[in-house]
Copies of this chain bind each other. A is one copy, B any other.
Amino acid sequence: MSTPPAFKRLPRAVREQQMLDAAVRVFSARGYHAASMDEIAEQAGISKPMVYAYLGTKEDLFIACLRREALRLIEAVTAAVGGAGDTADTDRPDEQLWRGLRAFFGFVGAHRDGWTVLYRQARGQPPFAGEVAELRARMAEAVAVLLGRAVAAAGRRVSEVDLDVMAYALVGASESLADWLTDHPDEDPERAATRMMNIAWLGADQLLRGATWHPAP
């Protein structure tokens, strides 16, 4: 017992969510391998066979957790970026990026021991790396698009690869700050977003203006 008593014979959809909740909790707390299906089932207030029946193998289950959380994150960010805004103002790329970051840090801050932890684990465990790589790629791609739009707006040209690299750097920096945020529970996600913007945007802005840095000859 963990979730509300929620006694017996619930419809499948409900049970699945309960299981996923429990799984996220346990995976986060113990790590993928140390987590046992027994504990997950117990936490979900159900017997193991049901877990297998509904969500499949332990690996499947972890992936399901990962996907659910990733989806939520992506939805949050997407909504924030493309969201309500249709005034000229809200369409400025920097504003869009900022809204995205704010949503991102907000989400991470709100799921301090769910998403971030799963994500960290998945990156290292061979069977899940692919899943994560895909997610990262989607994020980076979205960022790259934003940056590209900004570039175009500034009337300049930057190679695809360069945009990609910048996007990955930005994603990495954000992840890093997300971790930092996870470890500093008192910090305000919104401030973190602003900080990130200050670093990222000013640099990007410079680049877009054609400034470059080169090692001394």
Q: A residues engaging B (CB < 8 A)?
A: 30-34, 89, 92, 94-95, 98, 120-126, 129, 133, 162, 164-166, 168-177, 179-180, 183, 192, 194-207, 211-216
- Are A124 and B123 in touch, CB under 8 angstroms? yes
With a CB–CB cut-off of 8 A, which chain B residues contact A201?
Answer: 203, 213
With a CB–CB cut-off of 8 A, which chain B residues contact A95?
Answer: 215-216
Partner of A168, one of B124, B176, B212: B176
A-B contact pairs, 7 of them (CB 8 A): A32-B33, A94-B213, A95-B215, A168-B180, A172-B177, A194-B214, A198-B203
What distance in Å separates the Cβ of A119 from its nearest Cβ neighbour in chain B?
Answer: 8
- Are A216 and B89 in touch, CB under 8 angstroms? yes
Partner of A169, one of B199, B207, B212, B214: B199
- Are A202 and B203 in touch, CB under 8 angstroms? yes
With a CB–CB cut-off of 8 A, which chain B residues contact A33?
Answer: 32-33, 125
With a CB–CB cut-off of 8 A, which chain B residues contact A194?
Answer: 213-215
CA distance A199 to B213 in the complex (A): 9
Partner of A203, one of B174, B179, B180, B204: B204
CA distance A183 to B134 in the complex (A): 13
- Are A123 and B123 in touch, CB under 8 angstroms? yes
- Are A174 and B172 in touch, CB under 8 angstroms? yes
Q: Which 10 residue pairs of A and B lie closest in terms of their CB atoms, listed nearest first?
A: A172-B176, A203-B203, A121-B124, A202-B206, A169-B173, A124-B124, A173-B173, A33-B33, A120-B124, A31-B126
What distance in Å separates the Cβ of A195 from its nearest Cβ neighbour in chain B?
Answer: 5
Seed contacts A198-B207, A202-B203, A205-B206; 10 additional CB < 8 Å A-B pairs: A31-B124, A33-B33, A95-B216, A133-B183, A165-B195, A169-B196, A169-B199, A175-B176, A199-B207, A203-B206
CA distance A133 to B179 in the complex (A): 10
